[in-house]
Amino acid sequence: SLLREPYVGIANGLAYTEVGGEMLAVECIAMPGTGKLTLTGHLGDVMKESGQAALSWVRAHSDEFQLDKEFHQKQDIHIHVPEGAVPKDGPSAGITMATALVSALTGIPVRPDVAMTGEITLGGRVLPIGGVKEKMLAAYRSDIKTLILPRENKKDVEEIPQHIQEKFDIQYVDRIGQVIDLALLRS
C-alpha cells in the first residue's frame, strides 16, 4: 500500500504498532457533496480527531492553497487508511492526513520518496510523537529517501545508529506549512 509514484491525495505515513514500526499510506479524496467528513480504516478516536484537526487547519488556510473558501460546504472529504482489519490510533498521522488532504484538494501530487509522522494542532504546529526508532526502521526497509519529523524529536533520532540516519534526508519541522512545502511535488 506504499506510495511508489507521485499520486494526488495519497501520502506516506509512519506508524508504531504492537509489532513495531510500519509504513502506512493515507488516502484522501474530495467529491461533490455537502461537507461531510468520513474517516475509515479501523481508526481509533484519537486518529479520527487528527483527521478533523487536519481538515480544520486546511479550511482556515484555504487562501494559501487557492481553494474556494466554501470548499468544505460543496465537497465531501473521505480519508482512508488502508488495511482496515488492523486497528490504528494515536495522533501521529495528523501531518500525513493534512498533506493528503491538501494534495487531494489542490490536485498537486505528493512525493513518493517522502514519509512523515507528527501530530498537528489547529494552529498548524507539529508536535512530537513516540516510536521514532521503530518508525525509522520501517522507513529504512523501504524506498523512502526523505523523512519529515517533528523538530522536538531530533533528540530521539540522535540515539538511532548512524548508518540508519545516513540513509535519509531528515527534515525537522515545527509547522504544517513546512511539511506541505517539502512533501508536495510542485513544478
pLDDT tens-digit map of 142-182: 989 999 999 999 999 999 999 999 999 999 999 999 999 99
Selecting among 135, 142, 154, 155, the annotated active-site residue is: 135
Which pTM value belongs to this model? 0.95
Q: Which sequence spans correspond to the domains of the chain?
A: 7-183
C-alpha cell at 94: 495528523
Using DSSP bridges, classify how beta strands 75-80 and 20-32 pair: parallel, antiparallel or unpaired: antiparallel
Ordered alpha helix ranges (H), the chain: 45-60, 71-74, 94-106, 132-140, 154-157, 162-165, 176-183
Q: Is 103 a catalytic residue?
A: no
Instruction: Find the catalytic residue in 36, 92, 154, 187.
Output: 92
Taking domain 7-183, whether its CATH number is 3.30.230.10 is answered by yes
pLDDT digits (tens, 9 = 90+) for 88-141: 889 999 999 999 999 999 999 999 999 999 999 999 999 999 999 999 999 999
